[in-house]
Protein backbone atom coordinates (compact mmCIF):
# COMPACT_ATOMS: atom_id res chain seq x y z
CA UNK A 1 0.00 0.00 0.00
CA UNK A 2 2.95 2.15 0.54
CA UNK A 3 0.66 4.83 0.70
CA UNK A 4 -2.90 4.98 1.77
CA UNK A 5 -5.03 4.92 4.80
CA UNK A 6 -4.96 8.93 6.06
CA UNK A 7 -2.94 10.68 7.53
CA UNK A 8 -2.94 6.91 7.49
CA UNK A 9 -1.40 3.81 7.83
CA UNK A 10 6.74 3.02 9.06
CA UNK A 11 7.71 6.15 7.85
CA UNK A 12 6.02 9.52 7.49
CA UNK A 13 5.00 8.42 3.96
CA UNK A 14 3.06 5.50 5.38
CA UNK A 15 1.08 7.59 7.79
CA UNK A 16 0.04 9.77 4.93
CA UNK A 17 -0.92 6.83 2.79
CA UNK A 18 -3.03 5.25 5.45
CA UNK A 19 -4.67 8.45 6.29
CA UNK A 20 -5.50 8.71 2.66
CA UNK A 21 -7.33 5.44 2.54
CA UNK A 22 -9.40 6.31 5.53
CA UNK A 23 -9.75 9.68 4.14
CA UNK A 24 -10.93 8.20 0.97
CA UNK A 25 -13.16 5.62 2.23
CA UNK A 26 -14.09 7.60 5.25
CA UNK A 27 -13.20 11.15 5.43
CA UNK A 28 -14.31 12.33 2.06
CA UNK A 29 -17.48 14.26 1.78
CA UNK A 30 -20.28 14.72 4.24
CA UNK A 31 -22.28 17.48 5.73
CA UNK A 32 -21.48 17.10 9.42
CA UNK A 33 -18.51 14.85 10.16
CA UNK A 34 -16.55 15.82 7.12
CA UNK A 35 -13.01 17.13 6.89
CA UNK A 36 -10.84 16.94 8.91
CA UNK A 37 -12.11 13.59 10.25
CA UNK A 38 -10.93 10.37 8.68
CA UNK A 39 -13.89 8.55 10.17
CA UNK A 40 -16.72 9.30 7.75
CA UNK A 41 -20.32 10.11 8.65
CA UNK A 42 -23.63 8.90 7.23
CA UNK A 43 -24.44 12.12 5.36
CA UNK A 44 -23.72 13.63 1.97
CA UNK A 45 -23.69 17.14 0.54
CA UNK A 46 -27.15 18.62 -0.18
CA UNK A 47 -28.98 17.60 -3.35
CA UNK A 48 -27.88 19.59 -6.44
CA UNK A 49 -25.11 21.24 -4.41
CA UNK A 50 -21.32 20.94 -4.31
CA UNK A 51 -18.53 21.37 -1.80
CA UNK A 52 -14.76 21.78 -1.81
CA UNK A 53 -12.63 20.33 0.97
CA UNK A 54 -8.99 21.45 0.96
CA UNK A 55 -6.24 21.23 3.54
CA UNK A 56 -2.51 21.22 4.19
CA UNK A 57 -1.07 18.49 6.38
CA UNK A 58 2.42 18.64 7.87
CA UNK A 59 4.00 15.26 8.68
CA UNK A 60 7.49 14.52 9.97
CA UNK A 61 9.58 15.00 6.85
CA UNK A 62 6.76 15.65 4.38
CA UNK A 63 3.88 17.99 3.56
CA UNK A 64 0.57 17.13 1.87
CA UNK A 65 -1.66 19.43 -0.18
CA UNK A 66 -5.23 18.20 -0.66
CA UNK A 67 -8.22 19.31 -2.76
CA UNK A 68 -11.41 17.21 -2.89
CA UNK A 69 -14.36 18.68 -4.82
CA UNK A 70 -17.66 16.79 -4.49
CA UNK A 71 -21.16 17.21 -5.91
CA UNK A 72 -24.57 15.56 -5.46
CA UNK A 73 -26.18 15.77 -8.92
CA UNK A 74 -28.97 13.22 -8.40
CA UNK A 75 -30.10 13.85 -4.82
CA UNK A 76 -28.61 10.74 -3.21
CA UNK A 77 -25.28 10.07 -4.92
CA UNK A 78 -22.31 12.18 -3.92
CA UNK A 79 -19.36 12.02 -6.31
CA UNK A 80 -15.86 13.08 -5.24
CA UNK A 81 -12.99 13.57 -7.68
CA UNK A 82 -9.80 15.15 -6.44
CA UNK A 83 -6.32 14.45 -5.25
CA UNK A 84 -3.20 15.48 -3.41
CA UNK A 85 0.51 16.14 -3.70
CA UNK A 86 3.04 14.93 -1.14
CA UNK A 87 6.32 16.80 -0.91
CA UNK A 88 9.00 14.87 0.96
CA UNK A 89 12.18 16.38 2.35
CA UNK A 90 14.13 13.14 1.98
CA UNK A 91 12.49 11.13 -0.81
CA UNK A 92 10.47 11.32 -4.04
CA UNK A 93 7.36 13.46 -4.34
CA UNK A 94 3.99 11.72 -4.75
CA UNK A 95 0.71 12.54 -6.38
CA UNK A 96 -2.57 10.79 -5.71
CA UNK A 97 -5.88 10.88 -7.57
CA UNK A 98 -9.07 9.91 -5.77
CA UNK A 99 -12.55 9.02 -7.02
CA UNK A 100 -15.41 8.07 -4.71
CA UNK A 101 -19.16 7.54 -4.85
CA UNK A 102 -21.29 7.70 -1.72
CA UNK A 103 -25.00 7.16 -1.06
CA UNK A 104 -27.24 7.37 2.01
CA UNK A 105 -29.09 4.17 2.92
CA UNK A 106 -30.89 5.64 5.95
CA UNK A 107 -31.04 9.38 6.54
CA UNK A 108 -29.70 10.65 9.87
CA UNK A 109 -32.27 12.46 12.02
CA UNK A 110 -31.91 14.36 15.29
CA UNK A 111 -31.64 11.88 18.18
CA UNK A 112 -31.69 9.02 15.69
CA UNK A 113 -29.21 7.17 13.50
CA UNK A 114 -28.19 6.99 9.86
CA UNK A 115 -26.31 4.67 7.51
CA UNK A 116 -24.40 5.26 4.26
CA UNK A 117 -22.18 3.36 1.84
CA UNK A 118 -19.13 4.58 -0.07
CA UNK A 119 -16.99 2.93 -2.76
CA UNK A 120 -13.82 4.40 -4.16
CA UNK A 121 -10.35 4.11 -5.57
CA UNK A 122 -7.11 6.04 -5.15
CA UNK A 123 -4.08 5.93 -7.40
CA UNK A 124 -0.62 6.99 -6.31
CA UNK A 125 1.94 8.17 -8.83
CA UNK A 126 5.44 8.01 -7.38
CA UNK A 127 8.52 8.44 -9.51
CA UNK A 128 8.75 5.47 -11.85
CA UNK A 129 5.57 3.65 -10.91
CA UNK A 130 1.93 3.69 -9.81
CA UNK A 131 -0.39 1.88 -7.44
CA UNK A 132 -4.19 1.76 -7.21
CA UNK A 133 -6.15 1.00 -4.07
CA UNK A 134 -9.84 0.02 -3.93
CA UNK A 135 -12.02 0.32 -0.85
CA UNK A 136 -15.58 0.01 0.45
CA UNK A 137 -16.79 1.68 3.64
CA UNK A 138 -20.05 1.67 5.61
CA UNK A 139 -20.37 4.76 7.86
CA UNK A 140 -23.03 4.84 10.58
CA UNK A 141 -23.86 7.98 12.59
CA UNK A 142 -25.75 8.40 15.87
CA UNK A 143 -27.26 11.67 17.09
CA UNK A 144 -27.64 12.66 20.75
CA UNK A 145 -28.83 15.82 22.52
CA UNK A 146 -30.48 17.23 19.40
CA UNK A 147 -27.35 16.84 17.25
CA UNK A 148 -25.02 18.54 19.74
CA UNK A 149 -23.20 15.20 20.10
CA UNK A 150 -22.64 12.94 17.10
CA UNK A 151 -20.92 9.54 17.15
CA UNK A 152 -19.64 7.91 13.96
CA UNK A 153 -18.55 4.33 13.33
CA UNK A 154 -16.95 2.97 10.16
CA UNK A 155 -16.41 -0.59 8.97
CA UNK A 156 -14.85 -1.28 5.62
CA UNK A 157 -12.50 -3.19 3.35
CA UNK A 158 -9.55 -2.24 1.19
CA UNK A 159 -7.18 -4.02 -1.16
CA UNK A 160 -3.50 -3.28 -0.74
CA UNK A 161 -2.17 -2.62 -4.27
CA UNK A 162 1.38 -3.72 -3.40
CA UNK A 163 0.64 -7.05 -1.73
CA UNK A 164 -2.89 -7.64 -3.08
CA UNK A 165 -3.87 -8.35 0.54
CA UNK A 166 -7.42 -7.72 1.71
CA UNK A 167 -7.68 -5.69 4.91
CA UNK A 168 -10.41 -4.69 7.33
CA UNK A 169 -10.67 -0.97 8.06
CA UNK A 170 -12.46 0.70 10.97
CA UNK A 171 -13.03 4.08 12.55
CA UNK A 172 -14.68 5.53 15.65
CA UNK A 173 -15.19 9.27 16.01
CA UNK A 174 -17.22 11.98 17.68
CA UNK A 175 -18.13 15.62 17.09
CA UNK A 176 -19.18 17.64 20.15
CA UNK A 177 -20.65 21.13 19.93
CA UNK A 178 -18.71 23.69 21.98
CA UNK A 179 -20.42 26.92 20.88
CA UNK A 180 -22.98 27.86 18.28
CA UNK A 181 -20.35 27.65 15.52
CA UNK A 182 -17.50 25.57 16.99
CA UNK A 183 -17.09 21.82 17.42
CA UNK A 184 -14.57 19.53 19.09
CA UNK A 185 -13.64 16.42 17.08
CA UNK A 186 -11.89 13.25 18.23
CA UNK A 187 -11.38 9.89 16.55
CA UNK A 188 -9.39 6.68 16.33
CA UNK A 189 -9.04 4.59 13.18
CA UNK A 190 -6.97 1.80 11.72
CA UNK A 191 -6.82 -1.60 10.06
CA UNK A 192 -6.97 -5.15 11.33
CA UNK A 193 -3.20 -5.08 11.72
CA UNK A 194 -0.89 -2.56 13.33
CA UNK A 195 -1.53 -0.01 16.04
CA UNK A 196 -4.42 2.41 15.46
CA UNK A 197 -4.07 6.13 14.84
CA UNK A 198 -5.90 9.01 16.49
CA UNK A 199 -6.75 12.62 15.70
CA UNK A 200 -8.16 15.52 17.73
CA UNK A 201 -9.01 19.05 16.71
CA UNK A 202 -11.54 21.84 16.35
CA UNK A 203 -13.89 22.85 13.55
CA UNK A 204 -15.42 26.32 13.21
CA UNK A 205 -18.10 27.71 10.89
CA UNK A 206 -16.96 31.12 9.62
CA UNK A 207 -20.21 31.35 7.65
CA UNK A 208 -22.81 28.88 8.99
CA UNK A 209 -23.42 25.99 6.58
CA UNK A 210 -21.20 27.60 3.92
CA UNK A 211 -17.58 28.21 5.02
CA UNK A 212 -15.72 26.12 7.61
CA UNK A 213 -12.13 26.06 8.89
CA UNK A 214 -10.41 23.40 11.02
CA UNK A 215 -7.16 22.52 12.77
CA UNK A 216 -6.07 19.06 13.98
CA UNK A 217 -3.27 17.07 15.58
CA UNK A 218 -2.82 13.34 14.95
CA UNK A 219 -0.45 10.46 15.70
CA UNK A 220 -0.31 6.69 16.07
CA UNK A 221 -0.81 5.16 19.51
CA UNK A 222 2.57 4.16 20.93
CA UNK A 223 4.52 6.01 18.23
CA UNK A 224 5.79 8.68 20.68
CA UNK A 225 5.25 11.49 18.15
CA UNK A 226 7.28 9.74 15.44
CA UNK A 227 4.29 9.68 13.09
CA UNK A 228 2.48 12.81 14.23
CA UNK A 229 0.87 15.29 11.86
CA UNK A 230 -0.74 18.72 12.00
CA UNK A 231 -3.35 19.98 9.55
CA UNK A 232 -5.29 23.12 8.73
CA UNK A 233 -8.22 23.04 6.33
CA UNK A 234 -10.89 25.02 4.54
CA UNK A 235 -14.29 23.69 3.49
CA UNK A 236 -16.71 25.56 1.24
CA UNK A 237 -20.29 24.40 0.54
CA UNK A 238 -22.57 25.81 -2.15
CA UNK A 239 -26.30 26.34 -2.25
CA UNK A 240 -28.15 23.98 -4.66
CA UNK A 241 -27.49 25.11 -8.23
CA UNK A 242 -27.13 22.00 -10.41
CA UNK A 243 -29.90 21.40 -12.98
Asked if residue 103 lies in contact with residue 76, where contact means CB atoms within 8 angstroms, the answer is: yes
Domain ranges of the chain: 12-235
| Class of domain 12-235 (CATH, top level) | mainly beta
| pLDDT tens-place string over residues 153-207 | 999 999 877 778 899 999 999 999 999 999 999 999 999 988 999 999 999 999 9
Residue 6 CA to chain centroid, in angstroms? 7
Say if residues 28 and 19 touch (Cβ distance below 8 Å).
no
Classify residue 3 as left (phi > 0), alpha (psi -120 to 50) or beta. alpha
Whether residue 5 is predicted with pLDDT greater than 70 in this model: the reply is no
Q: At a CB cut-off of 8 Å and minimum separation 6, what does 224 contact?
A: none
Average pLDDT over residues 49-57: 97
Model confidence at 2, pLDDT cuts 50, 70, 90, reads very low
Q: How confident is the model at residue 46 (pLDDT cuts 50, 70, 90)?
A: very high
Query: What global pTM score does this model have?
Result: 0.84
| pLDDT > 80? residue 10 | no
pLDDT digits (tens, 9 = 90+) for 92-125: 788 899 999 999 999 999 999 999 999 999 988 7
pLDDT of residue 63: 95
| pLDDT for res 129 | 54
Amino acid sequence: MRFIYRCFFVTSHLVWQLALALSLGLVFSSAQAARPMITDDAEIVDAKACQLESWIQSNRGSTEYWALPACNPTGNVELTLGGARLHSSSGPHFRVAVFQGKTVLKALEANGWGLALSVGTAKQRPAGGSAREWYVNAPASFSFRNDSLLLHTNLGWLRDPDTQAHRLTWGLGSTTQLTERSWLIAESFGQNRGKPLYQVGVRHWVVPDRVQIDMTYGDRFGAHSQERWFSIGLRILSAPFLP
